[in-house]
Structure 1
Amino acid sequence: MKIEVKLTTKEEAYIIKNMYPLYLHDLSGHYGLIAGHTPNCHGIFEDSNDYTTLQDQYDAQNIWWEKQNCLYSYLILVDDIPAGFELVATPPYCTPGIDFFVNDFFLMQPFRGNGIAQCAATKVFEMFRGKWELFTNPADKNVIGQKFWHKTVSNYTKGNYEEVLGPTIDGNKLIFRFCNT
């Protein structure tokens, strides 16, 4: 099985945009009926009712391809088939003192459970050197996500990382921080 992580261009953005509603639907299972994790009145997983179509949501995501020197959109491919994505932000789109932030990470269901996600995350970590941060939902509904990031970050850093529960721009989260310089 060939696992590839590829930086996408504006011309390829549609592939990640096609998967994004699946990602948001997936997140809704981890958060339940919390605002922003249920569909709006138009059936779109967004905080605002301003998004009436998926095209509206797609247009809002264009920033990932417009700010190419500080926002990076990676497509995860398995045997040349789109399997997921990882969106990485750099300053000013992350916590002060952090160089790289895993903004979004998603692997579609058929590709889960066989090491692809850990391999893809590690490949992206290797592309950038510095202080990293990522966070995930600390709720019991997200035990699988918590275990995934604990295992992935622990294996990648050989146990040299920080894992804390604390406030973020998205509420109280389980935060992982490490440095790979």
Structure 2
Amino acid sequence: MDVKLIKAALGDRDIVRNMYAFYLHDLTKYTEALEVNEEGTFEFDAFSLIWDKEGIEPFFIKADGKLAGFLLLLRAPFLKKADYCINDFFLYNSFRGKNVGQAAIELLFREYKGTYYIEQLKRNEPAVRFWKKVYRDYQLDVQETSRMEDGEECVGQFMKVE
């Protein structure tokens, strides 16, 4: 598949919001902290920050010209402990297991060199496996951390991409 990583613009706000609802719905398999809102969907409570704060960049992942997912990249001045953080990473089910995610990460790593922090809910075993495979494939030296957030155990990784 031909995979592209495209920076989302302010005019794409509604598309990103819709995709976030699917992403958050997927996460409900692994956490009790997310609840459906009055409109029957899921909402990222700090969604406006994506467009209002410097250092937060949403990207669309496209595969063969179709919208396949998104990632949210954090960087300075919003981020302090690493150069970059992949804060959220989502693929629609129909694109999973087809190397679309790996290709998107490869494009990101090629464009954005430096230190990264990436975190997953420990209970989200598919995400934990995905990232471990990425680290192995790229032969990255990873320092793993563990912390609690909203009563959920999270595992995180610091690494340098050169």
TM bracket (short chain): 0.7 to 0.9
2:128 aligned with 1:146, yes or no?
yes
Unaligned runs of 5+ in 2: none
The residue that corresponds to 1:180 in the other structure is 161
Structure 2 residue matching 1:5: 3-state secondary structure: strand
Structure 1 residue matching 2:28: 3-state secondary structure: helix
Looking at structure 2, the residues matched to 167 and 148 of structure 1 have their Cα atoms a distance apart, in angstroms, of: 20
The alpha-carbon deviation at position 149 of structure 1 amounts to 0.7
Structure 1 residue matching 2:98: 3-state secondary structure: coil
Looking at structure 2, the residues matched to 3 and 77 of structure 1 have their Cα atoms a distance apart, in angstroms, of: 6
The residue that corresponds to 1:51 in the other structure is none
- Whether the 8 Å CA contact 2:140–2:160 is kept in 1: the answer is no
Looking at structure 1, the residues matched to 23 and 125 of structure 2 have their Cα atoms a distance apart, in angstroms, of: 17
The residue that corresponds to 1:53 in the other structure is none
Larger Rg: 1
What is the RMSD of the two structures over their aligned residues, measured on CA atoms?
2.2
Q: Deviations over 1:94-140 (max 9, x none)?
A: 3x42111111100000000011011112211222121100100112x
The residue that corresponds to 1:129 in the other structure is 113
Judged with a 3 Å threshold, the aligned counterparts in structure 2 of structure 1 residues 42 and 81 are, in CA distance, closer, same or farther, namely: closer
Q: How does the TM-score come out when normalised to structure 2?
A: 0.87
Deviates more, 1:78-87 or 1:168-177: 168-177
2:100 aligned with 1:103, yes or no?
no
Alignment of 1:1-181 (within 5 A): 1-31=1-31, 34-35=32-33, 37-40=34-37, 43-46=40-43, 60-67=46-53, 69-94=54-79, 96-139=80-123, 142-156=124-138, 158-164=139-145, 166-167=146-147, 171-181=152-162
Q: What letter corresponds to residue 16 of structure 1 in structure 2?
A: V
Unaligned runs of 5+ in 1: 47-56
Deviates more, 1:84-93 or 1:37-46: 37-46
Q: Deviations over 1:40-72 (max 9, x none)?
A: 4553435xxxxxxxxxx69x52332333x4111
- Whether the 8 Å CA contact 2:140–2:159 is kept in 1: the answer is no
Looking at structure 1, the residues matched to 135 and 140 of structure 2 have their Cα atoms a distance apart, in angstroms, of: 8
Judged with a 3 Å threshold, the aligned counterparts in structure 2 of structure 1 residues 70 and 41 are, in CA distance, closer, same or farther, namely: same
Give the strand-richer structure, 1 or 2: 2
Give the helix-richer structure, 1 or 2: 1
The alignment-based identity, stated in percent, is: 28
Q: How does the TM-score come out when normalised to structure 1?
A: 0.79
